[in-house]
A and B are shown apart, each in its own frame.
Chain A
Amino acid sequence: MKEGTMAEMHRLKIRVNGEDYELYVKPKTLLVEVIRDHLGLTGTKRGCNSGACGACTVILNGMAVKSCSVLALQADGAEVLTVEGLAKGSELHPLQKAFLDHGAYQCGFCTSGMLMSAKALLDENPSPTKEEIKEGIHGNLCRCTGYNSIVRAIAAVAEGKYEEAER
């Protein structure tokens, strides 16, 4: 920006986990910054600076996206789901239950992103093959688990082993 000028704040209206927010943000603000810093939803993590690790994955208008690679203002009017929006109170989402049963996490830092990619996958394709599950989480790096337990957990949900919670 030119010397002596400043970036204006722009209004951002966004629905996150079913709740509406109206914020004013600088244009360069990333969606992940709105989620973590403005809204305090720190379940979504950041693991890199180049959109490569997927730890920041959230669901935007039904699509899995890397929130570090989306300008917040592009999410104006959008609906976003983060990991905090999966459980209903103390009733865990089937994917969360499956992850617990299968030990599909270890340090847990990639887990939020994994769950969101998994949810987006199953919402679009309720009966994925194992290959499709692996493709579905291809954009999410994990250094701890070796992925196979995560694939098993998602497959178990796809096979209907967990009932959806009553809403």
Chain B
Amino acid sequence: MKYTVINTPLHNIDGVAKVTGRATYTFDVKLPGMLYGKILRSPYPHARILNIDTSKAERLIGVKAVVTGKDTLGIKQGIWRRYPELCDEEILAREKVRYIGEPVAAVAAVDEDTAEEALDLIEVEYEPLPAVFDPMEAIKEGAPQIHEGVERNINVTRHIEWGNVDEAFKEADYIREDWFKCSGQAHVCMETHCAVSSYTPDGKLTVWTSTQSPYYIQVLLAWALGLRENDVRVISRYVGGGFGSKFELDSAQFCSALLSMKLCRPVKIVLTREEEFTATKRRTPMYYYVRTGVKKDGTFVARETRVFTDGGAYTSMGATALYLTGFFHSFPYKWPNYRYDGYRVYTNTMPSSAMRGFGAPQAIFVSESQIDMIAEDLGIDPIEIRRRNAMTPDHEIPGQATIRSCGLVECLDKIDDWIKSRGELPPNRGIGVAAYGFMSGGIFNWFNTPYAFSAAMVKINIDGKVDLYIGAQDIGQGSNTTLAMICAEELGVRLEDVRVHTADTDIAPVDLGAWGSRETLMAGNAVKMAAADAKRQLLEFAAAKMGPNIVYDLDIKDRWVYIVARPERRISYFEVVKDAIRGRDGQPIIGRGHYTPHRKGMVSPAYSFGVQAVEVEVDPETGKIKLINAVTAHDCGQVINPLGVHGQLEGAIAMAAGYGFTEHLPMEEGKILNPNLVDYKILRAGDMPETEVFEVESYEPEGPFGAKEAGEGLTNPTAGALANAVAKAVGVRITELPITSEKVLKALKEKGEGKKAD
């Protein structure tokens, strides 16, 4: 199928704005009369708030308002709206604080310095309570209870099962059981959380904010503030990164809105980098127990897994991470028997929530590590054991999902070829492999939206320029461009003919936002439908004009309306547009589309797959790991935006490699010890390995032009591949993330291969 727009290396449509410094982020927004806000946060991990005296702060010249929990409606909000018991977060605490950093008051003043000074003048009387920081401690009888009525701090449990695991283990020739520990991770968006809220005397609230989902923020703010949903407008045109940290209601949004409502003036709150590290949300740390049984040729027989996740102080999106980790822990293989039990446990630490991969990087790290351990024990090649069990197209996961398109085996082949091409490696070098599968958006409607998950509108103007209205959010992943490309391809025009309108809840149709890798497939389908609707209307007029034989079809490509069977007979798209608008009494052509997955199970409408090989060099005397190569073969169905996909891949490697060996959030008594960019170490330019991508083609019937997700799934394999590479390089297996050089050296010494001190 020859495409004229999709899968061509077109410039990102926001590119010029970004490279000329013209893109206005929430960080840059300035309004007349705007005040600056700061938030006072709890220094205790667990405490009752006895009293807050704001009088001194209020008297400071330049301070216009101070708010506390008493100024709120006391609504416990949460993003899992379908389950009220999981909506447990007030944001501005009223009676109790549950983690260091929880907001207790907020100030609006004429400038940031005055606001900060005012914080020091707010007197809060706390009654510290016993706190608990480890989920395995929090779950014990007698541990401090963090939320009223939640026994043993067990927030959510999940169970996934098919086949008969206990019986099946009896058939296994070889069984391994292992324990793993997966750390948290910080998102480190370059633009911190921020919001400018403006409440006006007509009772309307407008909020500029850096978010992945203007729709979610609109609904959650309206709920928490007692406003009518559509009296709240959320604007988020340019976003400096999200990665899962920005689709829940956050303290910058809530506090600035509250202050603005009190003052009827705009209030801007920008979180500092330190607040970003200590008072937002993080990737969920997990304790994994896995027991796997296989046949002696490596065929998988049964797996049972138990996971305890460190939920931190509130539910957030943690319930989703708990489910997805258990689900993707079975990917990308055909497990005849599988059982997962997950427990999310509250602790008095910063809440854990969603981060790119959403529980799958943890699950894949564990699964891929153990598969290599099994392969090693049985003397089976790592690619071979994976090939033997790989998912294939149209595979059914009993009671869970059906995999339609799946290019996994081809991915394995490509990586196998690459590894072989590397030949014999020098000493202390190793190549590790990991495979993954990931969702293209989630189906389970935990937000309880009544709307279609994605919607789009296409409007064709007299000069042929197309306005595309979408709710999908571009947070840097390039969805504006990808969706404009889908629109242009379907409608038969060029990318430069499409103008995207989004990121404003007053204008854009509802879309659930940029998370869970849903935009390309879900918003893409809505866009394709809208474009097809508009095209159909144009073709009515074209058919009348061209008068082709009734058995012939018309289509539009690259601004030409043509007879498919006789492409030389064609007329200009621009002429047809003029006819169509004239023919409809001067109205522009409008096409509408929407998409909600139906009859695709409860997890995802489609799955991407991939295999990654990471080559490392380990210094056996220090344990230091150097990344040499990272090669990925992946199947994302039809590639729509090739520059975008390539960028997502390389960015994912940097983030996932960081998760594998340099990034972590160590805490002491609930206090994060490295809340800055010097001590929290993300990869820099010189740390990146050489990267190579192999695209494996497949066609996903559920996706627009056969497309699936690309970008989140790619964060899944790297930690596992890294662990496997280190094992191959120097023969030690690290089962606790991150795989630091100290851990490697310690393991080497224990193995007796490291040089001992004399």
A107-B22 Cα distance, complex, nearest whole Å: 13
> Contact residues of B with A, CB < 8 Å?
9, 11-12, 14-25, 27-28, 187-192, 238-241, 243, 272-274, 475-478, 643-644, 646-655, 676-678, 682-686, 688, 691
Chain B residue numbers with a CB within 8 Å of A99 are: 15, 19
Q: Which of B17, B19, B240, B653 contacts A146 (CB 8 A)?
A: B653
Q: Which of B187, B678, B685 contacts A50 (CB 8 A)?
A: B678
Q: Which of B17, B273, B647, B651 contacts A47 (CB 8 A)?
A: B273
Chain B residue numbers with a CB within 8 Å of A55 are: 190
* A60-92 to B contact mask, C-beta < 8 Å, 1/0: 000000000000000000000011101100001
Look across to chain A and name the residue whose beta carbon is closest to the beta carbon of B274.
A49
Q: Which of A36, A49, A100 contacts B15 (CB 8 A)?
A: A100
With most chain A CB atoms within 10 A of its CB, the pick from B653, B677, B678, B682 is: B677
Q: Give min CB distance, B500 to chain A, whole Å.
A: 16
A146-B653 Cα distance, complex, nearest whole Å: 7
B688 touches A148 (CB 8 A): yes
B654 touches A115 (CB 8 A): no
B191 touches A43 (CB 8 A): no
B476 touches A106 (CB 8 A): yes
A36-B648 Cα distance, complex, nearest whole Å: 30
Look across to chain B and name the residue whose beta carbon is closest to the beta carbon of A151.
B685
Q: Give min CB distance, A81 to chain B, whole Å.
A: 12
Instruction: Tell whether A146 pairs with B651 under 8 Å between CB atoms, given A42-B28, A141-B682.
Output: yes
Interface window among A8-16, A131-139, A157-165 = A131-139
Q: Which of B190, B192, B652 contacts A142 (CB 8 A)?
A: B190
A108 touches B651 (CB 8 A): no
Look across to chain A and name the residue whose beta carbon is closest to the beta carbon of B686.
A134
* A26-39 to B contact mask, C-beta < 8 Å, 1/0: 00000000001000
With most chain A CB atoms within 10 A of its CB, the pick from B18, B19, B21 is: B19
Q: Give min CB distance, A79 to chain B, whole Å.
A: 18
Q: Which 8 pairs between the two chains have the least Cβ-Cβ distance?
A: A43-B21, A107-B476, A108-B18, A146-B650, A109-B240, A103-B643, A106-B476, A52-B677
Q: Give min CB distance, B271 to chain A, whole Å.
A: 11
A149 touches B650 (CB 8 A): yes
Instruction: Tell whether A147 pairs with B688 under 8 Å between CB atoms, given A84-B20, A103-B643.
Output: yes
B12 touches A100 (CB 8 A): yes
Q: Give min CB distance, B718 to chain A, whole Å.
A: 11
B241 touches A143 (CB 8 A): yes
A76-B231 Cα distance, complex, nearest whole Å: 48
Interface residues of A in 88-122 (CB under 8 A from B): 92, 96, 99-103, 105-112, 115
A151-B685 Cα distance, complex, nearest whole Å: 8
Look across to chain A and name the residue whose beta carbon is closest to the beta carbon of B243.
A143
A110 touches B190 (CB 8 A): yes
Instruction: Tell whether A52 pairs with B678 under 8 Å between CB atoms, given A47-B191, A82-B21.
Output: yes
B190 touches A103 (CB 8 A): no
Given A45-B191, A105-B18, A138-B685, 5 more A-B residue pairs with CB atoms under 8 Å apart are A103-B11, A107-B239, A109-B240, A134-B688, A147-B650
B651 touches A144 (CB 8 A): yes
Q: Which of B191, B653, B677 contacts A107 (CB 8 A)?
A: B191
28 A-B residue pairs with CB within 8 Å? A44-B21, A45-B240, A47-B190, A48-B273, A52-B678, A86-B20, A100-B15, A103-B12, A103-B478, A103-B644, A107-B189, A108-B18, A109-B191, A109-B241, A134-B686, A134-B688, A138-B686, A142-B685, A143-B654, A143-B655, A144-B647, A145-B647, A146-B649, A146-B651, A146-B655, A146-B688, A147-B650, A147-B685
A106 touches B21 (CB 8 A): no
Q: Does A41 contact B (CB under 8 A)?
A: yes
Chain B residue numbers with a CB within 8 Å of A100 are: 11-12, 15-16, 19
Q: Which of A96, A137, A149 contacts B647 (CB 8 A)?
A: A149
Chain A residue numbers with a CB within 8 Å of B15 are: 99-100, 105
Q: Does A59 contact B (CB under 8 A)?
A: no
Q: How large is the interface on A (under 10, 10 to 19, 20 to 34, 35 or more residues)?
A: 35 or more
B677 touches A50 (CB 8 A): yes
Chain A residue numbers with a CB within 8 Å of B27 are: 45-46, 109
Chain A residue numbers with a CB within 8 Å of B190 are: 45, 47, 53, 55, 107, 109-110, 141-144
Q: Does A150 contact B (CB under 8 A)?
A: yes
Instruction: Tell whether A87 pairs with B20 under 8 Å between CB atoms, given A45-B191, A49-B274.
Output: yes
A105-B135 Cα distance, complex, nearest whole Å: 39
Chain A residue numbers with a CB within 8 Å of B19 are: 83, 92, 96, 99-100, 105, 108, 111, 115
Interface of A is mostly: loop
Q: Give min CB distance, B39 to chain A, whole Å.
A: 15
Chain B residue numbers with a CB within 8 Å of A107 are: 189-191, 238-241, 475-476
> Contact residues of A with B, CB < 8 Å?
36, 41-50, 52-53, 55, 82-84, 86-87, 92, 96, 99-103, 105-112, 115, 131, 133-135, 137-138, 140-151
Chain A residue numbers with a CB within 8 Å of B23 are: 108
What is the count of residue pairs linking A and B with beta-carbon distances less than 8 angstroms? Answer: 173
A47 touches B476 (CB 8 A): no
A78-B652 Cα distance, complex, nearest whole Å: 40
B273 touches A148 (CB 8 A): no
A100-B17 Cα distance, complex, nearest whole Å: 11
Look across to chain B and name the residue whose beta carbon is closest to the beta carbon of A41.
B21
A141 touches B677 (CB 8 A): yes
With most chain B CB atoms within 10 A of its CB, the pick from A106, A109, A145 is: A106
Chain B residue numbers with a CB within 8 Å of A149 are: 646-647, 650
A84 touches B18 (CB 8 A): no
Q: Give min CB distance, A85 to chain B, whole Å.
A: 9
A138 touches B650 (CB 8 A): no
Chain B residue numbers with a CB within 8 Å of A102 are: 643
Q: Give min CB distance, A66 to chain B, whole Å.
A: 12
B20 touches A92 (CB 8 A): yes
Chain A residue numbers with a CB within 8 Å of B686 are: 131, 134-135, 138
B25 touches A143 (CB 8 A): no
A101 touches B188 (CB 8 A): no
A83 touches B20 (CB 8 A): yes
B678 touches A147 (CB 8 A): no
A87-B22 Cα distance, complex, nearest whole Å: 12
A137 touches B685 (CB 8 A): yes
A64-B478 Cα distance, complex, nearest whole Å: 29
Q: Which of A42, A112, A138 contacts B684 (CB 8 A)?
A: A138
A103 touches B243 (CB 8 A): no
A148 touches B650 (CB 8 A): yes
Look across to chain A and name the residue whose beta carbon is closest to the beta carbon of B680.
A52
A146 touches B652 (CB 8 A): yes
Q: Give min CB distance, B475 to chain A, whole Å.
A: 6
A9-B12 Cα distance, complex, nearest whole Å: 44
Instruction: Tell whether A52 pairs with B676 under 8 Å between CB atoms, given A45-B191, A103-B644.
Output: yes
A146 touches B654 (CB 8 A): yes
Instruction: Tell whether A50 pairs with B240 under 8 Å between CB atoms, given A143-B682, A146-B691.
Output: no
Instruction: Tell whether A42 pairs with B240 under 8 Å between CB atoms, given A142-B190, A146-B688.
Output: no
A51-B272 Cα distance, complex, nearest whole Å: 13
Chain B residue numbers with a CB within 8 Å of A134 are: 685-686, 688
Q: Give min CB distance, B637 to chain A, whole Å.
A: 20
A143 touches B273 (CB 8 A): no
Q: Which of A46, A96, A148 contacts B20 (CB 8 A)?
A: A96
Chain B residue numbers with a CB within 8 Å of A84 are: 20-21
Chain A residue numbers with a CB within 8 Å of B243 are: 143
Q: Give min CB distance, B660 to chain A, whole Å.
A: 14
Look across to chain B and name the residue whose beta carbon is closest to the beta carbon of A86.
B20
A92 touches B647 (CB 8 A): no
Chain B residue numbers with a CB within 8 Å of A140 are: 685
A99-B28 Cα distance, complex, nearest whole Å: 22
Look across to chain B and name the residue whose beta carbon is closest to the beta carbon of A145.
B651
Chain B residue numbers with a CB within 8 Å of A96 are: 19-20
Q: Which of B20, B476, B646 contacts A144 (CB 8 A)?
A: B476
Q: Give min CB distance, B193 to chain A, whole Å.
A: 12
Instruction: Tell whether A106 pairs with B678 under 8 Å between CB atoms, given A49-B273, A84-B21.
Output: no
A49-B478 Cα distance, complex, nearest whole Å: 28
Chain A residue numbers with a CB within 8 Å of B12 are: 100, 103, 105
Q: Give min CB distance, A99 to chain B, whole Å.
A: 5
